[in-house]
């Protein structure tokens, strides 16, 4: 890892600022001059659009949260996945490097194949098993070649108040909506991950930017759980009475293979003595509290 420049947070541009994580990163950077841009303002696949935006805003740091991350569609639209997740990231890194701008990029636990039985740390060998993971890992590699002033933040199982831009809901919301409508809940019990609340992920990213070093970081809520146990905890914390049936991934045919174990160890944050994220239960509790507060607002 390389030491960061002291003025790296002088002015920040967040690409994908209207998205689930991007919107919370903008909020987390309170007190720092931050410009959020969305697809209507910057086309991540257009080098000319990127260059124009950066020349206008003159940031010291760009945080890229834009991605083509519908895992199923990536399998059937591989060219599009690599265009957004690899080629566009390569162009962004080249432009930032030439302008002396540091770059932070959001990646994923899907760069790993899930064959491990203990959390993957930042030095673990990547081995993606689907197009989404492959395109994101290729983006990491091209970025690291094009610039040395970079952060890569790998996350897992994100959920937040803004919701998913591709699905229109989060897993948490889907479980609550199905339970309250009386529909049966069948949830897989053979995939282990670390569901992570975007507000807390964004806070961890800020702490890394303020006191860390360039490099790769895993930024997830602590601990691990199956989707089934996550669903049970969602209903329990929400006071919703509903039964949840265990099932396996085989019950839900999919174009994309998914890692059965994708828990990330936050070793780089620990080494840098950066405050870690709370465990996933605390993240869920905080999300449900924010959700209730937002519903109660006029």
Instruction: For 26, list phi and psi in degrees, rounded to 5.
Output: -55, -45
287 part of the active site: no
**Residue in 154, 138, 146 with CA at minimum distance from that of residue 92:** 146
Burial of 79 (0-12, 13-18, 19+ CB in 10 A): exposed
**Helix axes of 88-99 and 131-146: crossing angle, nearest 10 degrees:** 20
Residue owning tokens 């541009």: 13
Choosing from 132, 159, 197, 228, the catalytic residue is 132
**Residue in 220, 192, 183 with CA at minimum distance from that of residue 205:** 220
**Which amino acids are annotated catalytic?**
132
């Amino acid at each position: 890892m390389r030491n960061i420049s002291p003025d790296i947070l002088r002015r920040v541009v967040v690409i994908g600022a209207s998205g689930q994580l991007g919107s919370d990163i903008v909020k987390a950077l309170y007190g720092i001059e931050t410009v959020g841009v969305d697809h209507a303002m910057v086309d991540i696949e257009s080098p000319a659009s990127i260059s124009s935006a950066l020349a206008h805003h003159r940031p010291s740091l760009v945080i890229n949260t834009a991605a083509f991350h519908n895992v199923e569609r990536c399998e059937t639209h591989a060219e599009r996945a690599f265009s957004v997740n690899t080629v566009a990231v390569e162009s962004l890194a080249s432009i930032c490097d030439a302008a002396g701008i540091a770059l932070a990029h959001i990646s994923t636990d899907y760069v790993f194949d899930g064959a491990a039985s203990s959390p993957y740390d930042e030095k673990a060998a990547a081995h993606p098993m689907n197009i989404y993971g492959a395109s994101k890992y290729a983006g990491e590699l091209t970025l690291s070649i094009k610039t040395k002033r970079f952060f890569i933040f790998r996350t897992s199982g994100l959920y937040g108040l803004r919701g998913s831009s591709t699905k229109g809901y989060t897993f948490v919301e889907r479980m609550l909506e199905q339970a309250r409508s009386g529909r049966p809940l069948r949830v897989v019990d053979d995939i282990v991950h670390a569901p992570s609340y975007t507000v807390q992920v964004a806070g961890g990213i800020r702490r890394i930017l303020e006191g860390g070093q360039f490099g790769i970081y895993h930024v997830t809520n602590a601990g691990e759980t199956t989707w089934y146990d996550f669903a049970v905890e969602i209903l329990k914390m929400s006071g919703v009475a509903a039964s949840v049936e265990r099932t396996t991934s085989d019950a839900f045919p999919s174009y994309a293979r998914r890692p059965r174990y994708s828990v990330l160890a936050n070793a780089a944050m620990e080494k840098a003595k950066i405050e870690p994220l709370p465990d996933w239960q605390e993240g869920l509790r905080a999300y449900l509290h924010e959700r209730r507060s937002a519903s109660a607002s006029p």
